[in-house]
Amino acid sequence: MAERTAQTESEDRVPGMEAVYEHPRTLNKVVTHYCPGCTHGIGQRLVAEALDELGLRERTILVASVGCSVFVYNYFDVDAVQAAHGRAPAMATGIKRLEPDRIVLTYQGDGDMASIGLAEVVHAAVRGEKITTIFINNAIYGMTGGQMAPTSLPKQQTTSSPFGRDVRLTGNPLRMSELLAGLDGSAYIVRRSLHDARNVLKAKKAVLTALKVQMHGLGFSMVELLSSCPTNWGLSPEESLKWIENEMIPYFPLGDYKVADEVAAL
Amino acid sequence: MTKELLKGNVAIAEAALRAGLEAYFGYPITPQTELLEHLSRRMIELGRVFLQAESEIAAIHMVYGAACTGARVMTSSSSPGFSLMQEGLSYMAGAEIPCVIVDVMRGGPGLGNILPSQSDYFQVTRSAGHGDFRPIVLAPASVQEAIDFTGLAFDLAEKYRHMVILAADGLIGQMMEPAELPAMRAVRRGERPAWATTGAMGRARNIISSIYMQAEEEEGYNLKIQKRLRQIAQAEQRCAEHMTEGAVLLVVGYGTAGRVAYTAVEAARKAGMKVGLLRPQTLWPFPERRLSELADNVEGCLVVEMNAGQMVDDVRLAIGGQIPVSFYGRMGGVVPMPEDVLTTIETEYRRLAQAVPSNRWTKEALC
ipTM: 0.94
Q: Do B91 and A84 touch (CB under 8 A)?
A: yes
Q: Is the dihedral of CA A254, A257, A262, A265 positive or negative?
A: positive
Average pLDDT value for chain B: 95
The C-alpha angle with vertex A186 and arms to A183 and A188, in degrees rounded to 5, equals 135
Encode pLDDT of B63-75 as tens digits. Answer: 999 999 999 999 9
Task: With H, G, I as helix, E, B as strand and everything else as coil, classify residue A167.
Answer: helix
Q: Domain extents for chain B?
A: 4-190+207-235, 239-366
Using 50, 70 and 90 to split pLDDT, how confident is the model at B359? Answer: low
What confidence tens digit (pLDDT) does each residue in A181-213 have? 999 999 999 999 999 999 999 999 999 999 999
> CB–CB of B277/B242 below 8 Å?
yes
Q: How far apart are CA B295 and CA B313, in angstroms?
A: 15
* Contact residues on chain A for B43, CB-CB shorter than 8 A: none
Say yes or no: B327 contacts chain A, CB-CB below 8 A. no
What are the backbone angles phi and psi of residue A44, rounded to the nearest 5°? Answer: -65, -45
For residue range B244-294, list pLDDT tens digits in order.
Answer: 999 999 999 999 999 999 999 999 999 999 999 999 999 999 999 999 999
Hey, do B4-190+207-235 and B239-366 end up sharing a CATH topology, with the first three levels equal? yes
**pLDDT over 50 at A28, yes or no:** yes
As a whole-number percent, the residues of chain A with pLDDT over 70 amount to: 95
| A132-137 and B325-329 strand pairing | unpaired
- Intra-chain end-to-end CA distance of chain A, in Å: 40
Mean pLDDT, to the nearest integer, of A50-59? Answer: 98
User: Can you tell me the mean pLDDT for B170-193?
Assistant: 93
Do the beta carbons of residue B208 and residue B197 sit within 8 Å? yes
Is some CB atom of chain B closer than 8 A to the CB atom of A215? Answer: no
B165 in A contact zone (CB under 8 Å): no
> How much is the pLDDT for B367?
45
Region B54-70 average pLDDT = 98
- The answer to which of A10-24, A165-179, B175-189, B223-237 has the lowest mean pLDDT is A10-24
Tell which A residues from 3 to 32 touch B, by Cβ distance under 8 Å.
5
Which has more confidence, B179 or B365?
B179
Q: Which has more pLDDT, B304 or A3?
A: B304
Q: Do B199 and A87 touch (CB under 8 A)?
A: no
User: Which CATH topology does B4-190+207-235 take?
Assistant: Rossmann fold (3.40.50)
The model carries a pTM of 0.95
**Would you tell me which CATH number, out of the four given (3.40.50.920, 3.40.50.1970, 2.60.40.10, 3.30.530.20), belongs to the domain B239-366?**
3.40.50.920
Residue B58 three-state SS: helix
Q: Which among B66, B205, B207 has the least Cβ separation from residue A95?
A: B66
Q: Nearest Cβ partner of B210 from A79, A82, A94? A: A82
The superfamily (CATH) of domain A40-264 is Thiamin diphosphate (ThDP)-binding fold, Pyr/PP domains (3.40.50.970)
Q: Kind and range of the H or E element at B233? A: helix B215-235
Give the start-to-end residue ranges of the domains of chain A. Answer: 40-264
- Whole-number pLDDT of residue B355: 79
pLDDT in the model for residue A3: 46
Check A93 against B22: CB less than 8 A apart: no
Q: What is the pLDDT of residue A6?
A: 46
DSSP for A122-154, written as a single string: HHHHHTT-S-EEEEEE-SSBTTTTSB--TTPPT
Residue B136's pLDDT is what? Answer: 98
pLDDT at A14: 78
**Contact call for residues A112 and A85 (beta carbons, < 8 A):** yes
Question: From the candidates B48, B91, B201, B209, which should be mutated to test the interface with A, based on the most A CB atoms within 10 A?
Answer: B209
Give the residue from A51, A66, A79 with the most B CB atoms within 10 Å of its CB, the best one to mutate.
A79
Give residues 65 to 84 of B whose Cβ lies within 8 Å of A: 65-69, 71, 73
Question: Does the pLDDT of residue B361 top 70, yes or no?
Answer: no
Question: Is A82 close to B95, i.e. CB distance below 8 A?
Answer: yes
Phi, psi dihedrals of residue A104, rounded to the nearest 5°: -115, 125
CB contact under 8 A, A94 and B55: no
The sheet with strand A132-137 has its strands ordered as A255-259, A186-193, A220-226, A132-137, A103-109, A60-64, A79-82, B207-208
Nearest CA to B239 among B269, B277, B188, B196? B277
Q: Is the dihedral of CA A244, A246, A249, A250 positive or negative?
A: negative
% of residues, chain B, pLDDT over 70: 96
Any chain B CB within 8 A of the CB of A61? yes
Looking at the complex, report in whole angstroms how far the Cα of residue A194 sits from the nearest Cα belonging to chain B: 28
Q: Residue B358's pLDDT is what?
A: 61
Least Cα separation, residue A86 to chain B (angstroms): 10
- E strand map for B28-175: 49-52, 73-77, 99-105, 136-138, 163-169
Of B151, B341, B362, B355, the closest CA to residue B260 belongs to B341
DSSP-derived letter for residue B187 is P
Report d(CA A4, CA A175) in Å as an integer.
38
